[in-house]
Structure 1
Amino acid sequence: MPFNSSRPDIQLFTFYISGEIFAQFLDEFSQHFTELTESRERSIAAPSLFFEDEDEEGESFSIGGELKVLNAWRGKLNREDDLRNYYDVKILIDFLSAYSFRYSAEIEFELADDQIGSITDGNPCESLSVGLLKEWEKKLGLQ
């Protein structure tokens, strides 16, 4: 299903990796990210990576990615779709937490263009771990 920003039932869950990105990190991360995307079916589509080369001064390189998710806040998702959405997001956060820890990277997250949290040194902030995931787990009856 192609992304259509005018569809209110689909949102982008986006991440950006901050800090210095080394070639070793990029190679390993890209390879494992590809393995992650091929590891299971997603509710809409596998997450994708994007790269931004240099700024005007020619000094920065950034990497990020996005996952299309169904808009759970509209209250019209059935439990099965909401559960698949939850696991899509949880698996991505867990994957990124491991890389954040290994490479001391900070990763910022947005949902529908609103900043919703970060991971630093492998630790998701409270807004991700409690405000997003724990609340979602309660809603789904996973706790």
Structure 2
Amino acid sequence: MLYFEDLTPGLRFHTASVTLSEQDIHAFAHQYDPQYFHTDNTRAEDSVFAGLAASGWHTSSLTMRLVVESEFGRSVANGLIGMGVDKMRWPRPTRAGDTLQASVEVLSGKRSGSQPDFGVVKLRWVTRNQQQEEVMSLETAIWVAVRQP
């Protein structure tokens, strides 16, 4: 198990990977983000993306799954209890056929003054495609149990 004391700045974790299909992109978009550049291959050609692009929320959801299923996600003592997300960016679109992998870096940690059994750990998540191009990044804070209060 990983506790607050274990998550020191600079520590990095990497996830497995997942490959998106055109069908995956369409299915997610039809249910959650039905904009034409996510659902209609022909119309998407004339969009700012110049082709079918996965919703940024799809990329983010896949990243969450990758992180939760990673050794890091399975090891945090009390789970990944998010406190908020900052600086979420999608610098380039995710496309059908892209294989995504995420990394998690510990940025900082601060013990809670009001609840001594916990600390706040700030993380940076970066998701890259098979060409190592960044497709999503964010900073988040998680609530982590301390080993010894």
RCO comparison, higher one (Cα < 8 Å, 6+): 2
Place the TM-score, normalised by the shorter chain, in its bin.
under 0.3
> Which is strand-richer, 1 or 2?
2
Larger radius of gyration: 2
Q: Normalized against structure 2, the TM-score is what?
A: 0.24
